[in-house]
Chain A
C-alpha cells in the first residue's frame, strides 16, 4: 500500500507538471481528479466540522461524565437553530419558485461581514497605522530621572532617514488615492511620488513572491527526488 501511495502521488505530481509542456491527457486526468477530490474534500469537511461539529453537537450535546462519574453534559445552545434555519433558507434556491428566500441568509452574511470589516479595518488598518506613522522624526525627548530635566536625544541617521522615508511614502501614497482631485501641479507631483512608493512596494512583493513560489517548488522536488526516488542524500 505504501508503494502504491507514493507512486500515485508521484504520478499525479508529474501529471500536473506536464501541463508546463502543454495541455495533455495526463494533465486533464490529474486536473479532473483534483477538481472532484477537492470539491468532495471540502464538502465532507464542512459537513463534519460545521453542520455536525457545530450545529448537531451544539443543540444535542452528547452526554459526558467527568472522572468522578458526574454528568457534565453541556446545556444545548438553542441559538444554533437560527443558523440551521438560515442554512435551510439558503437551500431554498433549489426550488425555483421560492428561490428568492435565499436572499435572507445572504443578506445576513453580507451584513455581518460589512459590520465586522468596518470596525476591524478602521481600528487596525487605519487608526493603528496612523499612530504608527506619527513618530518623532529626529529624536526623543526623554526625561532624565535624576534631574527631572527633559533632554533631546538624537536618533541615529539610519532611523532618521527611515522615518522621513516612511512619512513621505505614506503621505504621497495616500495623495495618489485621492479621487476627487485631478492629479495636476504640486498635487500631481506628490501623487507621482506616491506611485513610485507603490511600485517599490510591488517590487518587494514580487521578490518575496518569487521566493515563496520557489520554496514550494523545492518542496515538490524534495518529494520527487527524495521521498519517491530516494536520490537526495
Chain B
C-alpha cells in the first residue's frame, strides 16, 4: 500500500499547520508559562446581610475610625493563555481586613488610559472581603486600562444601610489585554497527543513496509463470516444496526466502517442485507458504503437503494420500528455495531427471542451487559474500534492497533511508576497528567 495523492497532500497540510502553530508559539515567546489560577470574580454582592432600604448618613457623620486601611500592592496583568479581553487584578489585603474587621468588600474601579494617564474611574464589580484577586473579563483587547481597588466598610442596622466608609488604593496600570498563541497549561496534553500519534504513525509506517504485525484473535470478529454464512444457508436476511447516534459520534463511524466489510460479505454470498438507520446523515453515509461494497465485489446490480433506509430520529420510535421488522421478517443474523442507549435491550432481547445469531459491539459501558447476555458475541469498548482494522486486515490499520498498544503500555508503566513514587511521597510525576490548571 502506498499513500496516494490525497493522503500525502493532507499530511503535508497537517504538518504545515503544526509548523505554523509552533512558529507562532516561538515568536510570541513572551507568554508567561505559569498561569496561576485566579479566583472567580463575582461582580454581584454575595454572602452579605440583606439590605431592605438605604438611610445613608452624610459623610461627615461617619466616625473616622470606620475608614479601613487601603489595599496595597495592586498588581494588574493580562490574563495568560486566553484569547484576550481579560485582565487579572490582585492585591494585598487591607490590614483591617480580617474576620470581624473593617472591610466588607472590595470594589474594583477601572479607568481607560488617556495619554498614559488614568481617565475617569468607574466601578466594574466587587468581591467580598478576604478575596485578593479578580478577573476583569470585559477589558477590550489592546486598550490600556488603570485599576483601583476600594476597601468598603458598611454599617447595616436591621436591614437599613446607615453609612458606607470607603478608602481607595493607588491606581495601578496601564495594562492592556492581549491574546496568546499557545495555551501553556495544556503543554502536557500537547506532548501526550503528539507522542501517541507518533506511536501510531510509526507502526502504520512499519506495517506498510511489510513488517508482519501480530494481532490476537477477537472472537466476535472471527464469527462474522460464520454469521453471514448461516443467513445464506437459511435463505434469510441480515440486519445491520449501526447504533442510534449521528455521524458526529466516532462509534457510529466505526459502526458504518464495519458495515462496509459486512456488506462485502453479504454481496459475495448474495444475501439480503438490510440497514435501518435512525439518522439521516447515517443513512446517507451507509448508502454510500453499502453501494461501494457491492461494486467492490462486482455485484453493483444487486444493490438496492432501499436496503438502507431511515426510520425516525427518535430512539424508541426507532426501536419499535426495528422490533416490528425483526418479529415479522425474522432475520437469521443481526449486527449491532455503534453507539447504543436504552434501546439496546429491546433490540437484543427481541433478536434473541426469534433465535437470530447476534453480534454486537459498542463502547457504551451501560449497554454492554445486555449485549453480553443476549448476544452470541460482543465487542467490548476498544474492540469495536479495532474491528474495522481487524476485519480489513489492511496493514495500515493493523499498524495503528499496534500503536494503540504502545500507548496502553505507556499508560500501564506510568500508573505503576506513579503509584510507587506517590506512595513514597513524591507528587511531581502525577502532575504530568493533570488537565485542569
Whether A and B touch directly in their complex, counting CB atoms under 8 A apart, is answered as yes
Binding site for B on A (CB under 8 A): 16, 19, 23, 28, 31, 34-35, 38-39, 41-42, 90, 93, 102-103, 106, 109-110, 112-114, 117-119, 122-124, 126-128, 130-131, 133-141, 150, 152, 167, 170-171, 174-175, 177-183, 198, 201-203, 205-206, 208-209, 213
Residues on A with C-beta less than 8 A from B250 are: 113-114, 117
Given contacts A114-B250, A122-B189, A123-B189, list 10 more A-B pairs with CB under 8 A: A23-B327, A90-B284, A106-B284, A112-B248, A133-B418, A134-B433, A135-B430, A139-B423, A202-B372, A203-B369
Instruction: Decide if B415 touches A179 in the complex (CB within 8 Å).
Output: no
For the complex, is B324 an interface residue (Cβ under 8 Å from A)? yes
CB < 8 Å neighbour of B253 from A113, A134, A182:
A113
Instruction: Decide if B248 touches A180 in the complex (CB within 8 Å).
Output: no
For the complex, is B401 an interface residue (Cβ under 8 Å from A)? yes
> Which 10 pairs, one residue from A and one from B, show the smallest C-beta to C-beta distance?
A141-B425, A134-B418, A38-B314, A131-B433, A38-B317, A206-B369, A202-B369, A134-B430, A39-B312, A113-B248
Binding site for A on B (CB under 8 A): 188-189, 192-193, 196, 213-216, 218, 247-250, 253, 281, 284-285, 288, 311-314, 316-317, 320-321, 323-324, 327-328, 342, 345, 365-366, 368-370, 372-373, 380-383, 386, 401-402, 404-405, 408, 411-412, 414-416, 418-419, 422-425, 429-430, 433-435
Given the complex of chains A and B, what is the CA–CA distance between A114 and B250 in angstroms?
7
Residues on A with C-beta less than 8 A from B380 are: 198
Given contacts A106-B281, A134-B419, contact A179 B317 (CB under 8 A): no
Instruction: Decide if A136 touches B422 in the complex (CB within 8 Å).
Output: yes
Given the complex of chains A and B, what is the CA–CA distance between A23 and B196 in angstroms?
51
Instruction: Decide if B430 touches A131 in the complex (CB within 8 Å).
Output: yes
Residues on A with C-beta less than 8 A from B253 are: 110, 113-114
Residues on A with C-beta less than 8 A from B320 are: 16, 31, 34-35
CB < 8 Å neighbour of B411 from A93, A174, A182:
A174
Residues on B with C-beta less than 8 A from A39 are: 312-314, 317
The residue of chain A having its C-beta at the shortest distance from the C-beta of B346 within the complex is: A19
A-B contacts, 19 of them at CB < 8 A, read A16-B320, A34-B314, A35-B311, A39-B312, A102-B284, A113-B247, A122-B193, A127-B189, A131-B435, A134-B419, A136-B419, A150-B425, A174-B408, A174-B411, A177-B408, A178-B405, A179-B402, A180-B401, A206-B369
